[in-house]
Amino acid sequence: MVSRWLLRPSLVALVYAWAVAVGGSCAVSAANSQDIISRDEIVDRIGPRKPRSRGIAVVPDAGPGPAEATAPASEPRGMALPAIQFEFDSDRFTPGARRQVEELGHALLQPALRSFVFSVQGHTDSVGSAAYNRDLSTRRASAVKRYLVDDMSVSAGRLIEVGLGEGYPITGIPSDDERNRRVEVVNRGSAAHRPAATEDGTAHRPSRRALLVGIGEYRNFSRLAGAPNDATAMAEFLVGQGGFDRGDIRIVTDSDATRSNVLAVAQEWLVDGTAAGDDVVLFFSGHGFQQWDQDGDEADGMDETLVPVDAYLDGDGQVAGMITDDEIGALLDGLRGRRVWVVIDACHSGTSTRGVGVDESWRYAKTLRLPDGSPVRLPLDTDTEFAVETARAPTDTMAKGDLAGVAGVESATRAEDPDLVVWTAVRASQLALLDREASGNTAGSVYTRRLLWGARDGRADADQDGTVTMLELHRYVQMESEAYCQRHPRDCKRGLTPQLEAMPSRTADQAFGFDAPELSRTAAFAKDILLQAADAGASSDGPGLRLQLEPGPKLEVGTEIEVVVESSRAGYLTVLDIDAAENLTQIFPNDESLRAGVSPQVRPGQSVRLPGARAGFRFQAIPPAGRGLLVAVVSDESVGIERLTGRHKDLAVVPSPRAYVIEASEALRVDDAAAAGGRGWSVGTLEYEILPPGGSR
């Protein structure tokens, strides 16, 4: 008996679709040439409805790719292709079948169909065993898809092969009739489950990207043990609670963090690799410094700089090869239209070496020293800037236009950008510090560690409402930085005053309020199909179905879960889960719950709790983090749906989730046709989110 079942990070989905299949195990005659349906007729029959003379018309996307296709109609448009026949008891085409598949391929490449996704569904007659016929129909559907992809250059992502065997004969025809040996192609309509395409329709841009730089092993200057750990810790935060995939993040540390590489990756990965509306994070932990202003845009005559690993002393004893605030500013200008978070954990001032004593305190300061601790000469050797800085009263958020110089955002136009948020470790004249209270794997910087304590661990949530706002986080890191200085006064001769640069109207927003992670493609596909069913009237009226998760829709990894379903109609219950990793699992009916006495037949108004008190296991939220979809269906007749669910009672991940969804919809259509008085099923969906341990959103 299963002692515990780990509920996938998403909860199932049942879907509404049609079916396709291929001939049974008996031989069939080759199609005559006149039986082949032309590409134009295929386009006409499975393409979008023709525009009407008045009212609202449905038209296809005119672009070359599948970016934003409209639904083909209020319900899927499908057609049988009887000319697609196979050799006896095999998945090899007859000559006529090959010609028909070629016509189908040409049709799918027409502009009118190029924006849509299609299912290729194989059917057989009932001659032979049900299991054999299902396998044969699957192989034949796969043969059609393979030819379309390999020989006709149709994108594989636009085709879903489904083998339905003998279970779905043509209405009014005996199941052993050879006319049931058919292939059907069904237009699945809008492809909301697919990523958006770029302008040329060939690729898509991710919804979020991050560049994280951490430099500890400098070639020519004092090392910063722990700075690369800052970048790693930030990456874990973005993955665990920011909705980032690991593939969304570039980490550049130590020897790779040269000036040329950092700037090149920033341009290619962040600027060129994102589009308006995307979330972008730029993080730097390392040395900060100054150099003479080159273009006259600095009131004090100095550019603040970030120090890459290959910076060096030139012949005049000045630091060369740094990245200036002007260069960072140009980078940010290239990111206009994105939502941008900049985190700079570095010193921002040339005066920052002053006041560092001869003890070991210099080892913790994030401003330049030579490897032996000797100070590096600054271009501007004066305390004037420090006097100006300390004369200004600290504020919770800086005024717009007073953005941190090192982030390159001094311009008034950029300062007024509501989509830019800049977090910096210290004021321009202060020293950013490594944390002498941490070591080993926990080694890192004072600022980054406390920023993550506040945002990641929720310590900054002063009002305990579950959301860490910018203002709450800023106050928290200021308070924690001041407390650190009280414990280590020799390190903090000038204090630690973290800065937040953001529009005042945004300070009540979530500190790192990235766009919520999207549903997986499989879950979105399931919802697409359900919406088509609702548009067709199959589930838009009649008895309702309520779906609930306990303890709630936001679930920390490790949380035990109960699924509660309440239906206002009697019927046969099916519950599916689709997680953030594309996995679909039929969580009910399952063998363990059925043995424990949980009946698949529900009564009106009855609350069914899954997995059941005596099932011997519990559902549990497990990684990966992200959004999932739970779908419940109650069907009046169990004949159609039970044919499908009976094969998936083992609580195992379904190998072909989109094919399952399509067969589920066909099964519901069959049950619907058998129901007295109209629609024979109800559907309910619930989106939920799996959070990492200690996570909050």
Token reading at 69: 């296709």
**Catalytic hit among 287, 348, 474, 648:** 287
Asked if 385 and 300 touch (Cβ cutoff 8 Å), the reply is yes
User: Annotated catalytic, 26?
Assistant: no
Give the three-state DSSP class for 491.
coil
**CA gap 350, 406 in Å, rounded:** 12
DSSP per-residue letters across 338-395: SEEEEEEES---GGGGTT--SSGGGGGB-B-B-TTSPBPPPSS--SHHHHHHHHSPP-
**CA gap 272, 681 in Å, rounded:** 48
Q: Tell me 270's DSSP state.
A: I
Examine residue 655 and say whether the peptide bond preceding it is cis (omega within 30 degrees of 0): no
Q: Tell me 178's DSSP state.
A: G
Residues 6 or more apart from 618 whose CB is under 8 A from it? 4, 5, 560, 561, 562, 611
Examine residue 611 and say whether the peptide bond preceding it is cis (omega within 30 degrees of 0): yes
User: Annotated catalytic, 347?
Assistant: yes
**CA gap 384, 669 in Å, rounded:** 79
**Catalytic hit among 123, 193, 347, 492:** 347
Strand segments (E) across 447-559: 499-501, 545-550, 554-556
Token reading at 605: 């108004």
Asked if 163 and 141 touch (Cβ cutoff 8 Å), the reply is yes
Token reading at 96: 């006529």
Token reading at 160: 């879903």
Residue 247 CB neighbours (<10 A):
8
Q: Which long-range contacts (CB under 8 A, 24 or more apart) does 215-219 make?
A: 215/253, 215/254, 215/257, 215/285, 215/286, 215/287, 215/307, 215/308, 215/309, 216/253, 216/254, 216/286, 217/254, 217/255, 217/309, 218/287, 218/307, 218/309, 218/311, 219/309, 219/310, 219/312
Token reading at 103: 């016509």
Reduced DSSP (H G I as helix, E B as strand, rest coil) percent helix, strand, coil of the chain, to 5:
30, 20, 50
Q: Which long-range contacts (CB under 8 A, 24 or more apart) does 57-62 make?
A: 60/111, 60/112, 60/113, 60/114, 60/115, 60/116, 61/114, 61/115, 62/111
Q: Which of 622, 634, 638, 624 is nearest to 670 (CA)?
A: 638
Q: Which residues are catalytic?
A: 287, 347
